[in-house]
Amino acid sequence: MTTIDEFRESLLKIISKNISETSDGLLLTVRVEEDPRETYLTIDNDELVFKTRDVENDSRCNSSLIGYLSSNLKIPSSNIDVIYGLRGSRIKTVLIKGVKREDFEKKILRYIRPI
């Protein structure tokens, strides 16, 4: 196995730890942190981390997270909802409807930046 394949496999394991399936859809656990420069996804200590400028305002932070997932993963924003972590929490649980786990993992893998 090449180094790239090993890296990809380690990312998939971390992503898999942060996703669960329910009858309503996929549940994605994401920690939110501030980055004053830009918005992106990364991995830190086996957690999926969403970096955004909008960390101080919960409604903008949640909107930013939904918008990021929707536009980058090509999932309608109406299929994405923050169901936990609405106020003051930096750990968010996002419900994503209408997507299969395997497809979601492949899509999200393309948008995770190394630290």
53-107, pLDDT tens digit by residue?
877 776 788 899 999 999 999 999 999 999 998 666 789 999 999 999 999 998 9
CB half-sphere exposure, 76, CA atoms < 13 A: 4
CA dist 39 and 53 (Å) reads 7
Q: Are strands 112-113 and 40-44 parallel, antiparallel or unpaired?
A: parallel
Residues contacting residue 57 through CB under 8 Å, at least 6 positions apart: none
Q: Global pTM?
A: 0.87
Q: Give φ, ψ of 5 to 5 degrees.
A: -65, -40
Q: Give φ, ψ of 32 to 5 degrees.
A: -105, 135
Residue 25 sits at the vertex; the CA angle it makes with 54 and 55, to the nearest 5 degrees, is 10
Q: What is the pLDDT of residue 70?
A: 97
Q: Does domain 3-113 have CATH number 3.30.1200.10?
A: yes
- pLDDT classification of 1: cutoffs 50, 70, 90: low
